[in-house]
């Protein structure tokens, strides 16, 4: 019994010391003190005590006497570590070097400092940026007719193109000194959210020049001559850019491009010139069919040593004017009925002078680094913002439609089945807009948020697809029948596009989010890897020893925090917030410790093979992402002044996120390859069981109710959407009608009751209204009001129909021929 107590006391000391992250010396002293206490008590017998003291003395000396520790512990581990660590390829090294670490790094510590999150300034729009949104952006929305673009033109209208160029929509990231708008990331986000939400066609056209379009690359790497030539032209819309990386054989594995260029002498504008002969076959290139300048990625070879001694120089980028002889560009792909200009770019033996290399020969071979660095910024803004815009608009529209559309004499939004979908729509919209705001504000804070960019890209596009799916289901046939009255169908068709572009989502989830985060954001792993490159062996051992023991302390701390916070349901964790949000911060603190522990366990178990263990990496990526999204939601809630009315949405989204974190961690443990360790890990991570539940029905009911009537909460959730009550914009018409629909409901109930009681009669609505007036159930004014509302409701729920010729692609020669033959 005493022995058991003794062992328990030692365990408690270990947990307490690692929970408090004490130094090794303090930990050793605490162990010694416990041992002394039992010795003085004369238990558990002198023989056992002598043995334990001897063991303690040996371990304490070995751990605390540094020369021995380094020689007998660290040195063998260092040898194994060298063999175990992944060979970091050049490509991966570039990816690792390309970004910065922001708040996401806190999650890897297992004890996030929440003040770092809360104290981050959330930038506001400047007056100039707000004026742009209220002016040119609103005017652009006035001009958008998505049906016309997608069905009749397969393009934007000329007026829209002119408007975009005139107001410098393509120059949002270009500095004013080059004639651009020089907007903040948060303003860039607001523009894309509004435009991209309303029209995938216009949104894509605006997004590309402001993300990976050559402007970003030019700003960072262009020669002065290139900047002075291209940037003012791009800002003014005189040049339309595109960027061509993807090729037939290289999609996700973009560095394997077979497109190549050979340094050689050739003829350019009648003169012998040193240049590059290029052969390439690119596809899926957005804006290529209309681009006047094409950013081209290819592998550069110098077999004759004209530039130096290296033959395979590596991936490089050149800017080719459309007029370049031999350039084959103009044909279009047709991406799921969203006809933004997108097509192939081909060329065989196209000769261009060396000046066309972006950044000149100095940057030859640096193409991948250039792309990865620029991509992290674009990824943090373009897709998260555009798809959040789509989610917001779908959320607004579906809430209104679910109130306007009645079946079984009730607004469909009152049925529990529809409520479930409405709750998801509102909460995912809340989550995705918090996420996209967080990633954009990281860019404004000067970060290159590689990991948040990947989280933003993946989760904003996935959550928006979920929102659109539910919105489509709630709209029933109204969502399916395409035509000018359909405001959802094209967005729904476009959802897989956003999933695929800028790094397809399966790859982003299973390889990139945790794969990049694990090394980049971990407090020790990158430093340990870097220690391997210290040349002086003694110095290397010293540094590795220091890092190794800090790392072990970190892992033990995460394990004990995970266990203690799990046992106490994190009730005593020191966190900020009020009565409500404190609970949320505590849960996140608990799961951050569990996540950090499982990240270490996975890295230790799999070593370099972890990058191929995509199911584990994907789950850890999910846990990391949902911690990050939850933190973004809390920040949003704080920033908006903790509005009590928004609490149900915040709570639903938060519980859903925590449940996902739990399931992700559970998945990692359930699939852990060492069977005997699984129950131990389960005890540490879920000491009282996996108790998180999905948001309950009552909460879902409250959230859904918030979507069905105008309120500050609904306005905050969908802020920035285009809601003008104009002809052809059904969402604006619905918003304008919604208050009247709500005001009509008591009258309709009165009528229904009278109808059921046989006090009024009539086959049609009009006859029943007349009868109600006669029976003094309704006044004449009330009758008129109901008639007006009814008429407008029928307008809203109407769908389009067509003569078959309007649906035939009759303008093409092939369409004409097929029709004639028939």
Binding residues for ligand FAD, rule: CB under 6 A, are 242-246, 251-252, 284-286, 335, 342, 497, 500-504, 506-507, 510-511, 614
Strand partners, 350: 278
Q: For residues 86 and 518, is the Cβ–Cβ distance under 8 A?
A: no
Calculate the alpha carbon distances from 629 to 412, 431, 460, 635 in Å. 31, 7, 10, 10
In the complex with ligand FAD, the residue whose CB is nearer, 501 or 793, is: 501
Closest contact distance (angstroms) between CB of 609 and ligand FAD is: 14
CA distance 11 to 563: 13
* Positive/negative CA dihedral, 583, 587, 593, 599: negative
Q: Which residues contact 120 (CB under 8 A, 6 or more apart)?
A: 103, 441, 445, 635
Sign of the Cα pseudo-torsion (106, 110, 113, 117, in order): positive
Neighbour tally for 483: CB within 10 Å: 15
To the nearest whole angstrom, how small is the minimum distance from the Cβ of residue 350 to ligand FAD?
18
Q: CA 734, CA 375: separation in Å to the nearest integer?
A: 38
Is 92 labeled as catalytic in the residue annotation? no
What are the residues facing 662 on neighbouring strands? none
Give the nearer residue to ligand FAD in terms of CB position, either 234 or 285: 285
**CB 196, min distance to ligand FAD, A:** 14
The reply to whether omega before 668 is within 30° of 0 (cis) is: no
Total H helices, total E strands in the chain: 36, 9
CA distance 540 to 533: 8
Nearer to ligand FAD, 235 or 495 (CB): 495
Of 614 and 740, the one with the shorter C-beta distance to ligand FAD is 614
| Smallest distance, ligand FAD to C-beta of residue 342, A | 5
Cβ(290)–Cβ(341) under 8 Å?
Answer: yes
What's the closest the beta carbon of residue 244 comes to ligand FAD, in angstroms? 5
- In this complex, which beta carbon is closest to ligand FAD, that of residue 205 or of residue 797? 205
Dist. CA 388–CA 385, nearest whole Å? 5
For ligand FAD, which is the closer residue by CB, 163 or 457?
Answer: 457
Buried b / exposed e over 689-721, threshold 16 CB at 10 Å, is eeebeebeeebbbbbbbbbbbeeebbebbbebb
Least distance from C-beta 496 to ligand FAD, angstroms? Answer: 8
Q: For the chain, what is the radius of gyration of the CA atoms?
A: 31
Q: How far is the CB of 112 from ligand FAD (least distance, A)?
A: 29
32 or 251, CB closer to ligand FAD?
Answer: 251
Dihedral of the CA atoms 618, 621, 622, 627 (nearest 10)? Answer: 170
- Judge contact between 761 and 768, C-beta under 8 A: yes
Please pick, among 502, 528, 663, 692, the residue that the annotation labels catalytic. 502
- Nearest distance in Å: CB 511, ligand FAD: 5
User: How many CA atoms does the CB half-sphere of 373 hold within 13 Å?
Assistant: 16
**Shortest-Cβ-distance residue relative to ligand FAD:** 251
Cβ atoms < 10 Å from Cβ of 779: 12
Smallest distance, ligand FAD to C-beta of residue 362, A: 23
Q: DSSP strand E in 354-495: where?
A: 406-407, 410-411
- Could you list the active site residues? 502
């Amino acid at each position: 019994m005493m022995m058991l107590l003794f062992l328990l006391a030692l365990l408690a000391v270990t947990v307490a010391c690692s929970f408090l992250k004490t130094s090794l010396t303090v930990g050793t002293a605490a162990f010694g003190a416990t041992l002394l206490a039992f010795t003085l008590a004369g238990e558990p017998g002198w023989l056992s005590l002598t043995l334990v003291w001897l063991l303690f003395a040996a371990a304490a000396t070995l751990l605390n006497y540094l020369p021995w520790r380094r020689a007998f512990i660290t040195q063998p581990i260092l040898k194994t570590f060298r063999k175990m660590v992944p060979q970091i390829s050049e490509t991966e090294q570039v990816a690792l070097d390309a970004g910065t670490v922001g708040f996401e790094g806190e999650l890897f510590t297992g004890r996030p400092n929440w003040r770092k999150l809360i104290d981050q300034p959330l930038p506001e729009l400047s007056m100039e940026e707000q004026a742009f949104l209220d002016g040119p952006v609103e005017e652009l929305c006035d001009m958008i007719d998505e049906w016309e673009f997608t069905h009749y033109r397969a393009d934007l209208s000329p007026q829209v193109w002119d408007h975009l160029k005139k107001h410098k929509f393509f120059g949002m990231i270009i500095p004013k000194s080059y004639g651009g708008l020089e907007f903040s990331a948060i303003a860039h986000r607001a523009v894309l959210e509004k435009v991209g939400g309303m029209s995938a066609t216009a949104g894509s056209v605006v997004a590309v020049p402001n993300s990976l379009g050559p402007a970003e690359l030019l700003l960072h790497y262009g020669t002065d001559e290139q900047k002075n030539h291209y940037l003012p032209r791009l800002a003014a819309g005189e040049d339309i850019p595109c960027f061509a990386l993807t090729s037939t054989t290289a999609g996700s594995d973009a560095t394997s491009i077979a497109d190549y260029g050979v340094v050689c002498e050739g003829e350019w504008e009648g003169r012998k010139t040193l240049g590059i002969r290029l052969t390439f076959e690119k596809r899926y290139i957005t804006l290529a069919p209309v681009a006047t300048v094409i950013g081209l990625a290819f592998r550069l070879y110098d077999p004759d040593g004209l530039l130096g001694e290296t033959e395979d120089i590596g991936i490089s980028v050149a800017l080719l004017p459309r007029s370049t002889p031999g350039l084959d560009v103009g044909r279009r792909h047709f991406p799921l009925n969203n006809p933004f200009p997108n097509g192939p770019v081909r060329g065989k033996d196209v000769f261009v002078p060396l000046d066309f290399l972006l950044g000149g020969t100095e940057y030859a071979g640096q193409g991948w680094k250039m792309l990865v660095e620029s991509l992290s910024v674009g990824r943090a803004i373009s897709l998260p913002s555009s798809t959040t815009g789509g989610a917001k608009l779908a959320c607004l529209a579906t809430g209104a439609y679910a109130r306007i559309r009645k079946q079984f004499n009730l607004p469909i939004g009152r049925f529990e089945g529809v409520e479930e979908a409405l709750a998801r729509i509102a909460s995912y919209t809340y989550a995705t807009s918090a996420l996209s705001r967080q990633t954009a504000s990281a860019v404004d804070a000067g970060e290159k948020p590689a990991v948040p960019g990947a989280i933003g890209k993946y989760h904003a596009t996935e959550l928006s697809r979920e929102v659109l799916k539910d919105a489509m289901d709630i709209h029933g046939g109204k969502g399916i029948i395409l035509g000018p009255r359909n405001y959802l169908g094209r967005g729904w068709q476009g959802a897989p596009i956003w999933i695929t572009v800028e790094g397809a989502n399966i790859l982003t989830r299973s390889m990139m989010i945790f794969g990049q985060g694990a090394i980049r954001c971990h407090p020790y792993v990158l430093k340990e890897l870097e220690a391997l490159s210290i040349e002086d062996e003694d110095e290397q051992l010293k540094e590795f020893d220091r890092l190794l023991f800090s790392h072990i302390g970190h892992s033990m701390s995460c394990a004990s925090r995970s266990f203690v916070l799990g046992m106490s349901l994190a009730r005593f964790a020191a966190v900020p917030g009020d009565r409500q949000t404190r609970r949320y911060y505590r849960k996140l603190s608990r799961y951050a410790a569990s996540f950090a522990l499982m990240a270490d366990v996975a890295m230790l178990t799999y070593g370099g093979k972890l990058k191929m263990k995509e199911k584990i990496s994907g789950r850890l990526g999910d846990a990391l992402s949902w911690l990050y999204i939850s933190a973004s939601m809390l920040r949003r809630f704080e920033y908006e002044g903790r509005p009590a009315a928004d609490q149900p949405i915040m709570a639903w989204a938060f519980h859903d996120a925590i449940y996902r974190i739990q399931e992700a961690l559970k998945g990692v443990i359930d699939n852990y390859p060492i069977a005997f360790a699984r129950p131990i890990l389960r005890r540490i991570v879920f000491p009282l069981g996996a108790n998180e539940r999905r948001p309950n029905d009552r909460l879902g009911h409250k959230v859904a109710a918030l979507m069905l009537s105008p309120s500050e909460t609904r306005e905050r959730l969908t802020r920035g959407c285009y809601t003008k009550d104009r002809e052809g914009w059904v969402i604006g018409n619905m918003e304008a009608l919604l208050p009247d629909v709500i005001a009509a409901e008591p009258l309709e109930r009165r009528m229904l009751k009278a109808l059921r009681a046989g006090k009024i009669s009539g086959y049609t609505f009009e006859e029943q209204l007349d009868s109600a007036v006669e029976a003094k159930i309704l006044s004449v004014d009330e009758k008129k009001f109901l008639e007006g509302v009814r008429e407008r409701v029928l307008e809203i729920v109407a769908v389009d129909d067509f003569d078959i010729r309007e649906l035939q692609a009759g303008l093409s020669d092939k369409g004409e021929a097929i029709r004639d033959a028939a």
